[in-house]
Amino acid sequence: MTADRHSDPLLDPLFTSDAAADAFSPTARLQGMLDFEAALARAEAAVGVIPAHAVPAIEAACKAHLYELDALGAEAALAGNTAIPMVKHLTRAVKAADEESSRYVHWGATSQDAMDSGLMLQLRRFLDGLDADLAALADGLAELADRHRATLMVARTWLQHALPTTFGLKAAGWLDALGRDRQRIAAARTRLALQFGGAAGTLAALGEAGPAVAEALATELDLPLPALPWHASRDRITELASSLGILAGTLGTLGRDISLMMQMEVAEAFEPAGPGRGGSSTMPHKRNPVSCAVLLSTAIRAPALVGGLLAAQVQEHERGLGGWHAEWQALPDLCRLVAGAARHARETIAGLTVDAERMRANLDLTRGLILAEAVTMALGDRMGRMAAHSRVADASRRAAEAARPLRDVLAEDAEVVRALGIDGLDRLFDPLRYTGAASHFIDRVLALHRHQRRQQN
């Protein structure tokens, strides 16, 4: 990881991914704008707005490594945005090679065109890396769901034992939410379009050639051509930001569940182990949920960034003041955070240790109380639901007070035995018989996952 990738070399490697760090590095920001300028020259030459001989000199100067980032930043602090000094330095570089060509740098464009279109290129690169991690995560969750479709565990509601379920169904729940997240992000991506409107969104400086240049420029950059410039219409940005914020919540839920399962009193699943991972500076025995901490911290931080971007959506007239500026750091920060969480989630699921025996043992912690509903439903057919509920609730209370198995207490109730029989009572206390439609739900989620994979390949 290079210094250019990370503004904080101590913490960024924990909280982001290499792909996201590359996509939103200072060099990448500059290169995105320069790619716009090079494409603009090619498009205008193709339409006949500028002479074709001007293109090579402009293209040759559109390389980020030719410029000093610190100098550009210092000038941006005075100019109000990064494009103004970029255009000045670019023009100077072209002029040094070909004075005639330098006349056509940034022809008919405005600063926001370069910055927004450059951002679109950065976002495209970022989303490629993010989706690769999300696709791998989805495949890992699908494999877990299928492999553990019959792995019994406790379903917990309000953090308490509720009913038997399977770990496969829990993994399918994570996968199902992730699938919707990926669909939302993919839809938002289709609306990330070229920004090209000139000073006030009319392309007046290009006269009648404006629409033709815009079409050629969109082709050059491989960006969708919008119906009109969108300088002050920021819904494209907030749609993507909101989708990323929802994804952060999904990943946070995964992190919360796994971290709770990692507690030593539960010990049902664990993040991957490895040298230097999850240790303590003072307690050698610790195996801390490092990745879960990142997922949870991202879920905590992302809403504020999304909220800021939503607030920034309200902009003035044809080009806004302040709202646009508020996006410049908030959106890359959100992207980097979510990408880091996705990376951690992928690595965690790929190396997750599942203790099926401990999951099964935890089902027995309440000595059968977890199957009280199963008995109530069976008894309800014979004596009515309310009467059955009252009888099983009383038996559950006595079983808990005496620390006895609920099955044994119920077996001492003659009316229960007459209604269900001893064999029937034994069957009701087999948790594998009371997982309902879990396997059916898993199959439906896996079918959706396979369908999504086919659509994206």
Answer with the residue of higher pLDDT: 1 or 69.
69
CATH number at residue 320: 1.20.200.10
| Pairs from 198-206 (Cβ < 8 Å, separation ≥ 24) | 198/108, 198/109, 198/110, 198/113, 198/229, 199/110, 200/318, 200/319, 201/228, 201/229, 201/231, 201/318, 201/319, 203/108, 203/229, 205/107, 205/108, 206/44, 206/49, 206/107, 206/108
The pLDDT of residue 339: 97
Q: Is residue 445 part of a domain?
A: no
Q: Residue 148: pLDDT above 70?
A: yes
**One domain for residues 275 and 325:** yes
State whether 188 and 237 are in the same domain. Answer: yes
Instruction: Give the structural domain span for 380.
Output: 366-433
278 and 401 together in one domain: no
Per-residue pLDDT of 389-414, as tens digits, reads: 999 999 999 999 999 999 999 999 99
56: tokens are 């090579």
Does residue 413 belong to any structural domain of this protein?
Answer: yes
Residues 416 and 289 in one domain: no
| Residue 1 pLDDT greater than 80, yes or no | no
* Model pLDDT for residues 264-322, shown as the tens digit of each residue: 999 999 999 876 565 555 555 657 899 999 999 999 999 999 999 999 999 999 999 99
Examine the domain organization and report whether 103 and 173 are in the same domain: yes
Mark which of 357, 385, 410 sits at the end of a domain.
Answer: 357
Q: Are residues 297 and 401 in the same domain?
A: no
Q: Is residue 443 part of a domain?
A: no
Task: Pick 331 or 282 by higher pLDDT.
Answer: 331
Find the helix packing angle between 111-147 and 26-47, rounded to 10°: 120
Query: Tokens standing for 246?
Result: 């929802």
The fraction of the chain above a pLDDT of 90, given in percent, is: 90
| Residue 205's pLDDT band (cuts 50, 70, 90) | very high
Q: Are residues 116 and 239 in the same domain?
A: yes
Q: Does residue 308 contact residue 326 with C-beta atoms inside 8 Å?
A: yes
**What are the catalytic residues?**
280, 319
**pLDDT exceeds cutoff 50 at 6:** yes
Both 313 and 390 in one domain: the answer is no
For the chain, the domain total comes to 2
Cα–Cα distance, 331 to 107 (Å, whole number):
28
In Å, the largest CA–CA distance within the chain is 103
* Residue 152, H or E segment: strand 152-157
Same domain for 350 and 375? no
